[in-house]
Amino acid sequence: MTKVIGLTGGIGSGKSTIANFFEEFGVPVYIADDEAKKVMQSKEIVSAIKTAFGEGIFENTILNRTKLAEIVFNDPDKLAQLNAIVHPAVKKDFNAWLAEKKEYNFVVYEAAILFESGRYKHCDTIITVTAPEEIRIDRVIKRDNTTREQVLSRMKMQWDDEKRISGSDFVINNTNLKKAREEVVEILKILNIKQKQS
C-alpha cells in the first residue's frame, strides 16, 4: 500500500524546494496549496466563497486572491470558514490522485497547514522543514513582493516550528541546499528500509 509522507513547514521554510528533491528521486508530490487554487475555481466552491465572503472579493467574476488573503490572514474565524469550504474538496481531489499512484511505495503530500488542518492524521510519516525566522521572512518578501508586517501576520496564523517538530518524524533544516538534499536521501533510505521490513 502506498505510504503518504506529510511534508510541512512554516511560510518561507522552503517546502517546495524539498518537495522538488523528492520528485527528483521519483516520488510523486501533491502540492496542496496549488491544488487548492485549482479547486477554488470550480463553480461549487466559487459559489460557497461568494456566500461566505460576499461579491466584493470578486472582480469580473474572478476571485481576487489578494483581497481574500487580507481578510483571512487577519481573522482566524474567517480563515477557519474558508478552510471549511476548501479542505474537503482538496481532500477529495487528493484521494483521487492517490488512487492513481498505487504502484509507488511513497507519495508526498505537501501542505503549509498540515497540522492545523488535521491532515497529518492521514500521513504515515511527517517531515517538517525549518529555517531561521529572518531567512524565512526575507524569502517571502522577495517571493511575494510583500511587506515584513504581512509576512509576520501570516506566520502568526501558523503553528511555530517547535510545535510542528514535536509531531514530526523527521526535520530538515533548509538553509544549505546541498545538506538539505542529502537529508532527503537519508530519509528515503530509512523509509525504504522500513517498507521492506513491514
**Three-state secondary structure call for residue 128:** strand
Q: Is 17 annotated as a binding residue?
A: yes
Q: Is 42 annotated as a binding residue?
A: no
Q: Is 198 annotated as a binding residue?
A: no
**Three-state secondary structure call for residue 2:** coil
Which triple of cell numbers denotes residue 188? 528515503
Please give the Cα distance from 28 to 186 (Å, whole number). Answer: 18
Residue 167 CA, distance from chain mean position: 16
Decide if 32 contacts 109 (C-beta within 8 A): yes
Radius of gyration, alpha carbons of the chain: 17
What residues form the annotated binding site for ATP?
12-17
What residues form the annotated binding site?
12-17
